[in-house]
Amino acid sequence: MNALKISWQGSKTFTILAMVMYIIAIYFVYAAFILPSTELKIAIGSLAIVFTSIASSDIRNMADKEKINRILDKLNQIEDLQKEIQSEQKEQTNSGTPIVASLEAISQYYMDFLTKQKNEDAE
């Protein structure tokens, strides 16, 4: 499970980059209204759309990273519980050996008793 631990320390950087891209997109939209050439308006408008889509995908990725972090935390908790259960099972197995031996002894005693009773009934 340790291999699944992922650090998302760069999320602040992604946030800043997304904000910068939104600002650049707004600037491009403003420039598209000011420029006289239709081709430049289309080109700069397209750039504004590209920057906006990149920024929004970065923000969605950050939300996904937070979900992944929560899932990884839950997986780590499950792993810890599994280790705890396994250690308890080992303790029970180690301490359970005398119980098994005494159960075997009791069952052997009972079988001897039944055999003895059969012999007595047969006589």
Residues 79 and 1 sit within 8 Å (Cβ to Cβ)? yes
Q: Is residue 17 part of a domain?
A: yes
Q: Is residue 119 part of a domain?
A: no
pLDDT means per 10 residues in the chain (123 residues)? 45 74 83 83 84 77 78 88 84 66 80 86 74
Hey, what are 39's tokens?
């081709």
Q: Is residue 63 part of a domain?
A: yes
Q: Is residue 110 part of a domain?
A: no
How many domains does the chain fold into?
A: 1
- pLDDT for position 72: 87
- pLDDT for position 11: 63
Domain that holds residue 70: 9-98
Q: Is residue 1 part of a domain?
A: no
pTM over 0.75: no
Q: Is residue 4 part of a domain?
A: no
DSSP count for the chain of H helices, then E strands: 2, 0
- pLDDT for position 100: 67
Q: Is residue 32 part of a domain?
A: yes
Q: Is residue 84 part of a domain?
A: yes
Task: Return the axis-axis angle of helices 38-122 and 11-34, rounded to nearest 10°.
Answer: 150
